[in-house]
Amino acid sequence: MNTLSYKELLFIIFMLFSMFFGAGNLIFPAFLGNAAGTDMWISLAGFIITAVGLPILGVIAVGKAGSLDTLSTRVHPWFAFAFPFLIYLSIGPGLAIPRAGTLAYEMSIKPFLSPDLANKPIMLFIYTVIFFAIVLALSLSPSKLVDRFGKLLTPLLLILIAIIFVKALATPVENYAIPTELYIENAFFQGFLDGYLTMDALAALVYGIVVVNTIRLKGIKDESSISKYMLIAGLGAGILLAIIYSILTYLGASVSSITQLDNGAEVLTLVMNHLFGQAGIIILGALFTVACLCVSISLIVSCGEYFSRLMPIFSYKIWATIVTIISFTIANLGLNHILAISVPILGAIYPLAIVLIVLGLLNRYANHSIYLYGMIFTALFSIFDTINISLLNGVWTSALSSIPLYDQGVGWILPAIVGILIGAIIGKSKTI
C-alpha cells in the first residue's frame, strides 16, 4: 500500500487530536475566556499560536527527523540521552499521567460524594485503581490505538463537546465582563503565554514517533509519504484543537458577567450548572473522564515504547505496566503535591523543547554548532531561572528582569538567539 484512504487518514487525525486533548486542554481555554471577557478572541489568537501551532510543529519536526532521539542527537549524544529521558519522565509518570487520573476523580466522582467521603484518601485510591486498570488494558496493544481513538474515544469526546456548545447557543448568553487585570493591557500576549500551560509542545516530541509508527503500520514506508501524512495529520488535528479551544473560550466568556473564577475547572462547573443544572456535572465528569483516559493511554504507550527501546531488558508490556504502577502511586499523593514537585522541572525543559522544535524544522540551515550553542544558552537561562524561582524565592529576579521579555515569561528567547548566532559563527568558521 502506497497511500492512505481518506478514512484511515481521518482516524489518524482523530487519534492525534485525542492524544493531545487532556484535562488541561479543557481547563485553560475555559479560564482564558472567563478572565479575558470582552477580549476573549484576541487572547484566543495568542493561545492558539502556542497551544496549537507549537505542538503541531513539534509533531512535524519529529516526523522529519524520524524520532526524538535522532533530533536530540543533533545537539550532543549526552543531550540525546538526558533530554528525552527528562521529557518522558516529566510528562509521563512524573506529572501528566498522575495528574490526569487525579483530575478525572476530582471532576467525575468527587462532586457526588459527601464531604466526609470526598476528603478520604481511600476514595481516590479506589477510583485510581479502576482508572489505571482501564488505561493499562487499553495500552497493552498500541497497534490498536487508531481503532480505539479514531473510532470510539475521539468521536465520543467531540459529541460531548458538541452537545454543550449547541446548548450554549440555544441558551441566551450573558453579557461579557471586562477583562481581568492580566488581560487588560495585553490580551494577545497573555493568551500566548497561557498556551504554554497545556505543555503540549513537550507531548508533541513524544507523540511524533507514535504517529510515524501508526502510518508505517498502514503500509507507508517511504519517508516523503510519511512526512506528507504527518503534515496532513498535524494540520487536521490542529484545526480540531483550534475549533474546540474556540468553543471552550466562548463558554468561559459566556459566564464571565456572572463571576470571574480562579481556575478553569470552576469555570466549566459554573458553565455546566448554568446550562444543564445538576445533570451538567454528570456530562462534565464524563467529558473529563474520556479526555483523561485518552491522554493517559497515549502517554503510557509512548513511555512504554521509549523505555523498552532505552532498556530492552524488559518488554514493552512490562514497561507499560511499570509506568502505570508508578503513575498510580504518584496520583495518590494528591494533585497539589504532584504539581509542587514537577512544575519546576517542566519550567526548565519547556524552553529547550521549543528551541529544539524550531531548529528541527529549520534543520537544513542549522549546523551542529547552532544546535549545540542554542541549547546551551537556553539551558543556562532555564536553570538559573528555575533555581531563582524554586530555591531562592526570587533573589535574582531584579537582575534577570534586565533581560528583554523576562517579565512576560519568555526571557529565554534572547539567550536562545544569542546562542544560535554564536553557533552560526563558529559553524561557519569551521567550514572556512
Same domain, yes or no: 249 and 112 = yes
Residue 338 lies in a domain: no
Mark which of 303, 332, 361 sits at the end of a domain. 332
Same domain, yes or no: 16 and 96 = yes
Burial class, 44, CB count within 10 angstroms (exposed 0-12 / middle 13-18 / buried 19+): buried
Mark which of 287, 308, 332 sits at the end of a domain. 332
DSSP for 263-284 reads SHHHHHHHHHHHHHTHHHHHHH
Residue 258 lies in a domain: yes
Residue 397 lies in a domain: yes
- Ramachandran angles phi, psi of 179, nearest 5°: -65, 150
Same domain, yes or no: 269 and 384 = no
Q: What's at 318, amino acid-wise?
A: I
List the chain residues with pLDDT less than 70: 1-2, 142-154, 172-174, 181, 259-263, 335-336, 338-344, 346-347, 408, 430-432
Same domain, yes or no: 285 and 379 = no
Mark which of 332, 358, 393 sits at the end of a domain. 332
Please say whether the beta carbons of 208 and 63 come within 8 A. Answer: yes
C-alpha cell at 283: 456530562
Same domain, yes or no: 125 and 97 = yes
Specify the pLDDT at position 166. Answer: 83
At residue 262's C-alpha, the angle toward residues 260 and 267, to 5°, is: 60
Identify the domain containing residue 410 by its residue range: 345-432
Specify the pLDDT at position 10. Answer: 83
Same domain, yes or no: 221 and 177 = yes
100: which residues sit within 8 A by CB, 6+ positions away? 22, 23, 292, 295, 296, 299
Residue 340 lies in a domain: no
Q: Any idea what the CATH number is for the domain that residue 68 is in?
A: 1.20.1740.10
Specify the pLDDT at position 174. Answer: 62
Residue 365 lies in a domain: yes
Same domain, yes or no: 105 and 178 = yes
Residue 82 lies in a domain: yes
Same domain, yes or no: 55 and 203 = yes
Please give the model's pTM, rounded to 2 decimal places.
Answer: 0.80
Same domain, yes or no: 350 and 297 = no
Residue 1 lies in a domain: no
What is the separation of C-alpha 355 from the centre of its chain, rounded to a whole number of angstroms? 16
Same domain, yes or no: 124 and 259 = yes
Specify the pLDDT at position 422. Answer: 92
Same domain, yes or no: 388 and 311 = no
Same domain, yes or no: 280 and 386 = no
Crossing angle between the packed helical segments 200-217 and 54-65, to the nearest 10 degrees: 50
Instruction: Give the chain's domain count.
Output: 2
Residue 282 lies in a domain: yes
Q: What share of the chain is helix, strand, coil (3-state, %, to 5)?
A: 80, 0, 20
